[in-house]
Amino acid sequence: MDNIFVSKWRVNQGSDRETFGERALTLCRQAKSESGVSDARFFWCDANTIGFLIEASPGHWGPGSSPSGSTNKAIFDLANISQVISDETWMSAKQGQNNYDSAQ
């Protein structure tokens, strides 16, 4: 079962929204090229905010993963004109239960 990575990014004041959208699309395309990533999409939340929904096997996206240089470039290009305002990892109920059981 894949984890779901949900993040919201807000464009910096004075940055171009068209560039913001293009960089979001580039990040999704790069994410989809990574091993273990099954889907990557973005959504406009409002005129200044984009939300990402990335589905990936544990360890293939997010903390502890090792994205390619091209994917890291896409992340840093986006970060040059925007900032993360929320970042969450959602796991399946089964994975959550496995984590809980391992702590017992």
What global pTM score does this model have? 0.90
Q: In angstroms, rounded to a whole number, what is the distance separating the alpha carbons of residues 83 and 44?
A: 15
Query: Residue 1 pLDDT more than 80?
Result: no
| Residues 8-54 pLDDT 10s | 999 999 999 999 999 999 999 999 999 999 999 999 999 999 999 99
Contact between residue 53 and residue 8 where contact means Cβ atoms under 8 Å apart: no
Give me the number of domains the chain comprises. Answer: 1
Summarised one tens digit per residue, pLDDT across range 88-97 is 999 888 888 9
pLDDT tens-digit map of 49-75: 999 999 999 899 988 899 999 999 999
Residue 60: which domain range? Answer: 3-102
* Exposure on the CB side of residue 35, measured as CA atoms within 13 A: 4
CATH number at residue 95: 3.30.70.100
